[in-house]
């Protein structure tokens, strides 16, 4: 019984003389190969040459500081829960008196690690974060010879106080508007003068 009309009868006819010597087939194959010599190469000489990437490219993460240099992350774990690759781990600690200039909230991440070999750069950690503490950036994760080198800790993730990373392109107009609203705890900036000689680092 024929279920579809897609079946084909296999031809079993004898090969012609030209088919037997394979010459036309070889010439056809070589012509295809040589035609690629004159086409534009899709490869580039990385890292000397770099491709243009989208402004919202999802690359290496940054843990942001607030306007006064205090770490925004409060170690709530929302990013780790949202991460489909289970790439994020952290250890919390309680902020001590006098550390207000270092950590924005009462609880902070004593350690924070992202396994870049697990990460699929989906950006869900960024979306889950209620403190606008983690963002993906346009930086490319470096290659390494050791697997350990891909576990990024706070030393690589927290932005340097004097080398801030602009993430405004990743923030929606709604979030930027929300940040302008005075009175919301989320927008409160720590007043350094209240702790005397405290210095952000
Ligand atoms: S980008 Fe995605 S996979 Fe990578 S750490 Fe964030 S949530 Fe996990
Ligand atoms: S980065 Fe954001 S979501 Fe993750 S632990 Fe810190 S505050 Fe919470």
- Integer Cα distance of 151 and 153 in angstroms: 6
Q: Which atom of ligand 2 is nearest to the CA of 63?
A: 1
Beta carbon of 120 within 6 Å of any ligand 1 atom: yes
pTM to 2 decimals?
A: 0.73
Q: Residues of the chain whose pLDDT is less than 70? A: 1, 184-201
CA 177 to chain centroid: 25
pLDDT, one tens digit per residue, over 19-46 is 899 999 999 999 999 999 989 888 899 8
Q: Which atom of ligand 1 is nearest to the CA of 120?
A: 3
Instruction: Label residue 63 exposed, middle or buried (CB < 10 Å: 0-12, 13-18, 19+).
Output: buried
| Alpha helices for the chain (secondary structure H) | 17-21, 23-35, 78-82, 124-128, 154-157, 173-180
């Amino acid at each position: 019984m024929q279920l579809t009309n897609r079946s084909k009868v296999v031809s079993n006819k004898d090969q012609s003389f030209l088919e037997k010597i394979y010459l036309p087939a070889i010439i056809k194959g070589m012509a295809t190969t040589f035609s690629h010599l004159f086409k534009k190469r899709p490869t580039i000489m990385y890292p000397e040459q770099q491709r243009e990437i989208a402004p919202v490219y999802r690359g290496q993460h940054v843990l942001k500081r607030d306007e006064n240099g205090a770490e925004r992350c409060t170690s709530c774990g929302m990013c780790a829960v949202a991460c489909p690759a289970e790439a994020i781990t952290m250890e919390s600690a309680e902020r001590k008196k006098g550390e207000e200039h270092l950590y924005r909230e009462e609880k902070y991440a004593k350690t924070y690690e992202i396994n870049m070999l697990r990460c699929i750069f989906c950006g869900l950690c960024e979306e889950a974060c209620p403190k606008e503490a983690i963002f993906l950036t346009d930086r490319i994760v470096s290659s390494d010879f050791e697997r350990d080198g891909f576990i990024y800790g706070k030393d690589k993730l927290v932005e340097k106080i004097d080398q801030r990373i602009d993430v405004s392109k990743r923030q929606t107009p709604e979030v930027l508007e929300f940040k302008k609203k005075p009175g919301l705890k989320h927008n409160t900036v720590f007043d350094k003068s209240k702790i005397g000689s405290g210095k952000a680092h």
